[in-house]
Structure 1
Amino acid sequence: MPRLVLFNKPYGVLPQFTDKNMAASPRPTLSDYIQIDRVYPAGRLDMDSEGLMLLTDDGRLQARISDPRFKMPKRYLVQVEGAVTDVALAALRSGVPLKDGITRPAEADRVADPDLWPRDPPVRFRKTVPDCWISLTIREGRNRQVRRMTAAVGFPTLRLVRWSIGDWSLDGLGQGQMRVIEV
C-alpha cells in the first residue's frame, strides 16, 4: 500500500534530502527530519517558505500531486507588506501577468492573523509599515509563484506558509513534525 508523508517543513530547511552545496556550511535538509526510506517529495517548497510538503513512495501519486495538469489546489497563508486592497485581491482572483505569462485565477481573501508557530528568524517588523494576511489558493506551480503574484499586485510577501495540498493539510502538525498515512 502506498505511503504518504505529510511534513510541516520549517523555514530554512532545504526541500531535498541532501545539500549539493556541501562546500559551504551545511544547511538543514529533509533528512534531518524524515528517516523513512524511499519516499520522495511530490513538488517543492522553497527554503524560505514553510508548511506542508508531501512525500511518497508511489510514483503515480507523486505525479498526480505535483504535475500542474492535474490542477491540485494548493492553499497558502501569506503575510504581505501593506494593507492588501480589494483591487489587489481582484487581480489575484482574475490572474496576474508575470514574466512567464498570466497566472490562472486564484482564490484570494483577507484572513485574520493565523495562530502559527513562531518563525526563526522572525519576520521583520516595521512600525510605520502595516502588514496583513491573505489566503491564496493556486492550481499551478510556477517557480516562486505566490511571491511573484503578491509582488506584482504591490504587496510583497513577508512570510509564506503552505497550509494544504488537495485534501491534505497541516491540521494537527506542529513545525518539523510529520504524519505517515496509507493511501
Structure 2
Amino acid sequence: MTMMDALGLIENRSYLSSIVAADTALKAANVTLIDLEIIRGGYVTVKLIGDVGAVKAAVEAAKDAAESFGALISAHVIPRMHEETAKLIEKQKGRPAASPEGAKPTAKQEKEETGEQAKTEAVQEESPSPAATERNEENGQEKLTREQLEKLTVVKLRQLVRERKAMESATQINTAKKAELIHSLLEKMEKKE
C-alpha cells in the first residue's frame, strides 16, 4: 500500500451481500480486495485499495449491488490514505506495516521476522531428513523409524497414513490418536518388507 492508494469500505449486514459487493467492485474497476472482515452480529466489511478513481467507481458499484439485497449499512472512500491509516489496515491483515523506502525495520518488526524464521525452522526440523530415511525399493516410499514418527505432528502423521493407506477408513484416520497412527504406519512398513 502506498500513500497514493485509496481505501474503499463497504459495510453490509450479510456475508452473501458482501461477497456479491466484493465481486461487483472487482469487476467494476482495477482495485484489489484486501479483506472481507466478518464482524459480530452478521456485519461484514469489504476493504478495497487502488487508485482514487478506481476505488470510487468500485465502491459505487458495490454499494448498488449491496443495496439490491437491502443489506447495505454504509460505504466510504478514503482518498490518499495517511501513512498511519495504511499501517493500521496492514496490521489488521497480519502483515508488517509498510515503511518508506530505505527505512530500517523497527525492533518490533525485526522480532516478528525472527519469530517467523524460528517457526519455519521448527517445521523443517519436524520433517525427517532424506539422509535419515531409507527408501523401500518396492514402492519408493521412505521407511521411517519410530523416533522419526514420534517427532511428527498428528496432522503430518494422518497425511502419511492416508498416503500409505495404513488405515482403512477416513473416519478411523481422523479420530485416531498419535500412538495409533504411529502403530499403523509401523505395521504397514513391516508388512511391505
Q: By the TM > 0.5 criterion, same fold?
A: no
Greater relative contact order, per chain length (Cα 8 Å cut-off, separation 6+):
1
Q: TM-score, normalised by structure 2?
A: 0.27
Q: TM-score, normalised by structure 1?
A: 0.28
Larger radius of gyration: 2
